[in-house]
Structures are given as C-alpha cells and as structure tokens.
Amino acid sequence: MSRIGRQPVTVPGGVTITVGSDNVVTVKGPKGELKQNVDRDIKVEVKDGTVQLGRPTDQIRHRAMHGLYRALINNMVKGVTEGYKLNLELVGVGYKASNQGNTLDLSLGYSHNIIIEVPKELKVATAQEKGQNPTIALEGADKQLLGAVAAKIRSLRKPEPYKGKGVKFVGEVLRRKAGKAAGK
C-alpha cells in the first residue's frame, strides 16, 4: 500500500473539513477556504479530528491517486492554518520590481516594463534595499496557485548559466558554466 496515502491527515483546531457531493473536499480555516475535487474512486472520511483516505484496489492508478490526494489535502490544511510564502530575487543591473496592490511592475532588461496581475488570493510585496538585489515576496494559502504564479514570474527572465542574471528563487542554487576564456 501507499505509505503516504495510509497516513491520516490531522486536523488542527479552528479548521473544518467537509466532503460534499461529487467528492469535493472543502477546507476552511483562519487564512481562507480551499476546495479540491477528489477522484471518484478515492473515498475520503473525516472522523475524530483526522482525514483518512481509502482506495478500492491496488491498481497503479489507484495507488498513485491515493498518495496524491492525501498530499493535496494535507497541503490545504497547512495552507489555511500557516499559509505559504515564496521569495523571488531579481539578479541583474537595472532589474527592478514594484507593486501597486496586486499589480506587479517588473523591469527586466527588455524595452518595456512587464505588468502582471497577481490573483487576489495571493499577497505580493516588493523590496528594494541599497546594495541588495530587488526581491518579490508572494504569500497565500493555496500552494498550487502560489507555485504557478512564482513559476510564471520566473519564466519571464530565467537565470542564465554564465553570469546568473535573471529571476530566481531565494536560496536557489544555479549551475554555473565557465565562459569562453576558461575553455582554452
């Protein structure tokens, strides 16, 4: 059996989980409300402050779905209690970031600024300190949405391997290459 799928998801105080019709799991907590459609073959039971998932057979597909939905529900519970945060860093001369509410204005070395409308479920903040690279902080309860928005921002100017210029996650280790002069 799936080792992840068998583990129950503990529900902390202040969080309510309901399983509606069509296997829609709704998690409500202090940081918001999240919904997830669960495959109809996977059975979701909420009892005694835990969520237990079950599968009908040991088929590869059922085993994969079992662990997947357990992890997604666990991420939802963690999101509505603690929330998730991602930081991006702009490395490069003249790269800038600013925000007005949830509108992000990026200057990434192109002939024009790039303006991104961040979904209202996420909070965005930018910081520009002297001697430091500009940073973008994204915060929200939905881990999937947070990762998708951060990946979209990073894809606008991926870090290049020679100088490391571009948009990268804080703490991300880049694989660097030697230039032409080192090849001789």
Task: Name the amino acid, one letter, at 170.
Answer: V
Whether 174 is in a domain gets the answer no
Whether residue 42 is found in the same domain as residue 17: yes
Please answer whether residues 136 and 126 qualify as being in contact, where contact means their C-beta atoms are separated by less than 8 angstroms.
yes
Question: Does 181 map to a domain?
Answer: no
Q: Are 150 and 90 part of one and the same domain?
A: yes
| β-pair partners for 9 | 51
- Average pLDDT, stretch 10-24? 91
Phi and psi, residue 66, nearest 5°: -60, -55
Single-letter amino acid code for the residue at 48: D
Of 49, 81, 113, the last residue of a domain is 81
Does a structural domain hold residue 176? no
For residue 25, tell me if it sits in a domain: yes
Is residue 124 domain-resident?
yes
CATH of the domain at 104: 3.90.930.12
* pLDDT tier at 38, thresholds 50, 70, 90: very high
Instruction: Identify the top-confidence range among 6-10, 43-47, 151-155.
Output: 151-155
Instruction: Tell me how far apart the alpha carbons of residues 151 and 31 are, in angstroms, rounded to a whole number.
Output: 23
Range of the domain at 131: 84-169
Q: Domain boundary at 81, 114, 132, which?
A: 81
Specify the pLDDT at position 1.
Answer: 45
Per-residue pLDDT, averaged over 56-64, amounts to 91
Give the residue among 134, 140, 139, 145 at the shortest CA–CA distance from 168. 134
One domain, residues 91 and 165: yes
The pTM of the full predicted model, rounded to 2 decimals, is 0.88
Q: Are 46 and 105 in a shared domain?
A: no
Q: What is the pLDDT of residues 115-145, one digit of tens each?
A: 999 999 999 999 999 999 999 999 999 999 9
Is the domain of 58 the same as that of 99? no
Please check whether residues 10 and 28 belong to one and the same domain.
yes
Answer with the one of 81, 116, 143 that is the final residue of a domain. 81
DSSP 112: S
Count how many domains the chain has.
2
With a cut of 90, say whether residue 4 has pLDDT above it. Answer: no
Closest among 90, 96, 97, 77 to 15, alpha carbons compared: 77
- The torsion of the CA quartet 171, 73, 47, 33, rounded to 10 degrees, works out to 90
Average pLDDT of the chain? 92
Same domain, 60 and 111: no
